[in-house]
Amino acid sequence: MLAEIITIGDEILIGQIVDTNSAWIAKEFNLLGISIHQITSVSDDREHIKEAVTKALATHDLVLITGGLGPTKDDITKQVLTELFKTTLVLDEIAFQNIKSIFVKRGFEILESNIAQAMLPENCTPLYNTCGTAPGMWFDINHKVVVSMPGVPYEMKAMMQLDVLPRLKNMFTFPVINHCTLQTSGVGESFLAEKIKAVEARLPSHIKLAYLPSIGMVRLRLTGKGSDEQQLAQEIEDFKNELKDELGSIIFAEGDISLAEHVCELLKAKKKTLALAESCTGGFVSSLIVQIPGCSECFMGSTVTYSYDAKEKELGVKHETLSKFGAVSEECVDEMLQGVIRKYHTDCAIAISGIAGPDGGTQDKPVGTIYIGIMVNGKKIIKRYQFEKHRVRNIERAAMAALNMLRMALEQSGI
């Protein structure tokens, strides 16, 4: 089966939003063993939408469309599909009741533009929206399928999971596919490639290896296609183990798990607690941990001390330490570590202080100088990092470096 995603919206083509829907849909398809063949983004323009859908239908069995179903004037997907498939709009009673109930719940009056959202092409199968007002549409067109869904990500996701994916599973036969992802942290892409080049050279043509770098980490993904499920799983397993042998502790986990999630799991498994003292990262490390359900088992709290004053009062950093060495120093981070452990009585701690930029650098400590300290059961490590000039990226890199230092120490501590 060949599938294409078409995302509709001027906001994508003028760059005011990032299309995250495609990646999410592609991921779900990938789990079913189908690679999306192409993703095409087009404008809110009648002719452009028609052309894109027509072209996609010429070479693909399945066309998934998102966007353009909202209540406002620039949303024209439904009208265009109605014209293209030569049908007419009729009121769908279930969609109408759904819209009404949403407005009653929110205590808002129902608007004309919302009633228009309940009008659907006569020849489509309605896909009811469990999270919003705009229904989706499923069209069967000459043994091919066109699905139109809202562009609001959580509405589209619910519609895919509850309705579209189950229908597709009934309709198409999916090939045998096997994936395996290894998560690495702390080294770059070319270093990894050099380390595993012998393994890579032995990969057969039906198994591919991809390097997926993001800030502070590289994911390695093995993907195999075949016909014998068990044999393919064994092959992937064998190559995965070869990669693990070569890379050792550079790999922190298997599967799609974040570094923060892995650190939480390690802490929980070892029954250890964590507190944070953040200066330049401003609560970002803390927010990464709190995104994980169940983190309250291991995470006690965080103190964001963005000023000298707060560092002294909240964490007991000495005034003379700040005046002698500055807030961005090994000495300050050391006292921040001690202070946060005293405060929260935890087994582990992270302390971060640096110059995130874009200003505030000096010759000795240019923008991007960040000190990170960790403590695991009384054992302390403090490192100086030199990142670049971009504030948000420096914050993200410092957060990843800190989490990686903590996970290495936890893994090596033998506790």
- 160 to 199, contacts with a second copy by CB under 8 A? 181, 189-191, 193-194
Minimum distance, C-beta of residue 177 to a second copy, in the bound complex (Å): 10
Asked if 93 is part of the footprint of a second copy (rule: CB under 8 A), the reply reads no
CB 181 within 8 A of CB 255: yes
Asked if 314 is part of the footprint of a second copy (rule: CB under 8 A), the reply reads yes
Contacts for 37-42 with beta carbons within 8 Å, 24 or more apart?
37/2, 37/3, 37/4, 38/4, 38/5, 39/4, 39/5, 39/6, 39/7, 40/4, 40/5, 40/6, 40/7, 41/6, 41/7, 41/8, 41/9, 41/12, 41/13, 42/6, 42/7, 42/8, 42/13
Asked if 338 is part of the footprint of a second copy (rule: CB under 8 A), the reply reads no
Round to whole Å and give the CA distance between 101 and 114. Answer: 12
Q: If binding means CB under 8 A, how many residues of this protein chain bind a second copy?
A: 103
162, 304, 325, 383: which one binds a second copy (CB under 8 A)? 304
DSSP lists the bridge partners of residue 211 as: 220
- 348 to 377, contacts with a second copy by CB under 8 A? 356-359
Nearer to a second copy, 150 or 373 (CB): 150
96, 284, 371, 387: which one binds a second copy (CB under 8 A)? 284
Could you tell me the CA-to-CA distances from 28 to 129, 166, 227 in Å, in that order? 19, 12, 21
CB 352 within 8 A of CB 372: yes
Minimum distance, C-beta of residue 138 to a second copy, in the bound complex (Å): 21
Round to whole Å and give the CA distance between 234 and 215. Answer: 31
Round to whole Å and give the CA distance between 220 and 236. Answer: 13
- 228 to 267, contacts with a second copy by CB under 8 A? none
- Helices 77-84 and 46-59 pack at an angle, to 10 degrees, of 60
61, 318, 393, 413: which one binds a second copy (CB under 8 A)? 393
Round to whole Å and give the CA distance between 137 and 119. Answer: 11
Minimum distance, C-beta of residue 70 to a second copy, in the bound complex (Å): 6
CB 92 within 8 A of CB 135: yes
Asked if 202 is part of the footprint of a second copy (rule: CB under 8 A), the reply reads no
Rounded (10°) CA dihedral 183, 185, 191, 196: -30
Structure tokens, 80: 């265009």
Stretch that binds a second copy, among 109-117, 139-147, 234-242, 329-337 (CB under 8 A): 109-117
Minimum distance, C-beta of residue 161 to a second copy, in the bound complex (Å): 13
Structure tokens, 18: 């990032």
95, 276, 375, 405: which one binds a second copy (CB under 8 A)? 276
100, 219, 272, 380: which one binds a second copy (CB under 8 A)? 219
Stretch that binds a second copy, among 165-173, 226-234, 244-252, 283-291 (CB under 8 A): 283-291
Minimum distance, C-beta of residue 295 to a second copy, in the bound complex (Å): 7
Nearer to a second copy, 56 or 127 (CB): 56
Minimum distance, C-beta of residue 125 to a second copy, in the bound complex (Å): 25
Minimum distance, C-beta of residue 205 to a second copy, in the bound complex (Å): 12
Asked if 115 is part of the footprint of a second copy (rule: CB under 8 A), the reply reads no
Asked if 72 is part of the footprint of a second copy (rule: CB under 8 A), the reply reads yes
- 5 to 64, contacts with a second copy by CB under 8 A? 10-20, 22-30, 35-43, 48, 52
Minimum distance, C-beta of residue 25 to a second copy, in the bound complex (Å): 7
Q: Which residues of 371-409 are buried (b: 16+ CB within 10 A; e: fewer)?
A: bbbbbbeeebebeebebeeebeebbbbbbbbbbbbbbbb
Asked if 204 is part of the footprint of a second copy (rule: CB under 8 A), the reply reads no
